[in-house]
């Protein structure tokens, strides 16, 4: 148990350190072509925490008391960390949709609801209604009531909410609309909610049409995870992972840019925590 707590804390601190490094010298708001948003932070606190954790790992000591040691540091008071528990679930990839549902999706959703019941401060987001509706229809009255309560309390939130995650390469405008409509109709009729965040965690490529489409549907922000390595590295270097996307289009006579953009954020490592890919001792193996 101590090892698990230690590794979780290491992962969280290193994720914070990566985040601070991205925003170290930014101003609060810098207007560029796309009105890029920037946040100013300092990093002494995280450097101290990281070094202390490394020392404790070497000495095989517990790190539970570390955060209290630096509670008076000014950067700690200014730092806001957003941790977003979620599960990315594509209906179509290596297995059939039914195999995914039976072997992975149903157990995950049931486990999530149990954890939300046991811990008051836990939250979760979910995106694909193709799977969620199947799971919902098989639950007893008590579980369905619990889910209703989680939604009202803000512990369970739906993002995007399409029937499946919207593909951005092949579908026509009507296809995109029908996909979102089918999922939102289910959410609205069942829970009385309509998602406000567009969540494209694993879409391969991103089109101007989709950005404008999500804005017109009333989404307040767009989050996506995939970008070419070269362009993503450039955005990391210039600290432009968060920006207002004003999509450009070709008109009859000339190109034009939409004047009503959508807040957009590119995640660092698609839909996993920044430290997971390089973690020498993966939490799943503990």
Please write the tens of the pLDDT for every residue from 175-222: 889 999 999 999 999 999 999 999 988 888 788 888 888 998 999 999
Angle, helices 173-191 vs 208-216, to 10°: value is 30
Please tell me whether residues 127 and 39 are part of one structural domain. Answer: no
Closest by CA position to 212, among listed 262, 266, 264, 159: 262
pLDDT tens readout for residues 81-122: 777 888 888 888 899 999 999 999 999 999 999 999 998 889
Confidence of residue 274 (pLDDT cuts 50, 70, 90): low
- Identify whether 43 is part of a domain: yes
Please tell me whether residues 220 and 261 are part of one structural domain. Answer: yes
pLDDT tens readout for residues 39-62: 323 334 344 444 544 554 455 544
Please tell me whether residues 60 and 106 are part of one structural domain. Answer: no
Domain count, the chain: 2
Please tell me whether residues 58 and 103 are part of one structural domain. Answer: no
- Identify whether 88 is part of a domain: no
Query: What pLDDT shows up at residue 167?
Result: 83
Residue 186 near residue 222, CB atoms below 8 Å: no
- Identify whether 91 is part of a domain: no
Please tell me whether residues 130 and 253 are part of one structural domain. Answer: yes
Specify the CATH number for the domain of residue 210.
3.20.110.10
Please tell me whether residues 140 and 216 are part of one structural domain. Answer: yes
Query: What pLDDT shows up at residue 203?
Result: 82
Checking if the pLDDT of 279 tops 60, the result is: no
Closest by CA position to 266, among listed 230, 220, 229, 235: 235
Please tell me whether residues 107 and 205 are part of one structural domain. Answer: yes
Please tell me whether residues 103 and 66 are part of one structural domain. Answer: no
Please tell me whether residues 145 and 22 are part of one structural domain. Answer: no
Under DSSP, the state recorded for 101 is I
Please tell me whether residues 127 and 255 are part of one structural domain. Answer: yes
Please tell me whether residues 75 and 105 are part of one structural domain. Answer: no
Q: Give the N- to C-terminal CA distance of the chain in Å, as an integer.
A: 9
Provide the 10 A C-beta neighbour count for residue 79: 17
Rounded to an integer, what distance in angstroms lies between the CA atom of residue 61 and that of residue 10? 13
Please tell me whether residues 240 and 181 are part of one structural domain. Answer: yes
- Identify whether 7 is part of a domain: yes
Query: Domain range spanning residue 146?
Result: 97-278
- Identify whether 89 is part of a domain: no
- Identify whether 283 is part of a domain: no
- Identify whether 284 is part of a domain: no
């Amino acid at each position: 148990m101590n090892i698990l707590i230690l590794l979780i804390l290491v992962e969280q601190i290193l994720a914070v350190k990566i985040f601070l490094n991205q925003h170290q010298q930014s101003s609060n708001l810098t207007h560029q072509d796309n009105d890029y948003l920037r946040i100013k932070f300092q990093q002494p606190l995280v450097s101290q925490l990281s070094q202390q954790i490394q020392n404790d790992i070497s000495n095989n000591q517990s790190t539970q008391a570390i955060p209290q040691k630096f509670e008076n540091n000014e950067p700690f008071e200014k730092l806001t960390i957003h941790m977003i528990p979620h599960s990315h679930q594509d209906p179509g990839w290596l297995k059939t949709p039914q195999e995914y549902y039976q072997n992975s999706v149903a157990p995950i959703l049931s486990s999530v609801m149990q954890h939300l019941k046991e811990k008051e401060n836990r939250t979760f987001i979910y995106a694909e209604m193709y799977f969620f509706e199947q799971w919902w229809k098989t639950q007893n009255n008590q579980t369905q009531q619990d889910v209703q309560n989680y939604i009202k309390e803000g512990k369970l939130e739906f993002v995007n909410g399409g029937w499946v995650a919207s593909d951005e390469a092949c579908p026509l405008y009507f296809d995109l609309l029908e996909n979102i409509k089918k999922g939102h109709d289910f959410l609205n009729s069942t829970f009385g909610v309509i998602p406000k965040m567009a969540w494209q965690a694993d879409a391969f490529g991103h089109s101007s049409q989709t950005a404008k489409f999500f804005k017109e549907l009333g989404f307040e922000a767009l989050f996506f995870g995939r970008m070419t390595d070269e362009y993503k590295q450039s955005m990391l270097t210039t600290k432009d992972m968060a920006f207002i996307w004003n999509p450009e289009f070709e008109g009859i006579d000339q190109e034009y840019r939409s004047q009503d953009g959508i807040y957009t954020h590119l995640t660092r490592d698609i839909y996993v925590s920044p430290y997971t890919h390089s973690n020498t001792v993966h939490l799943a193996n503990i």
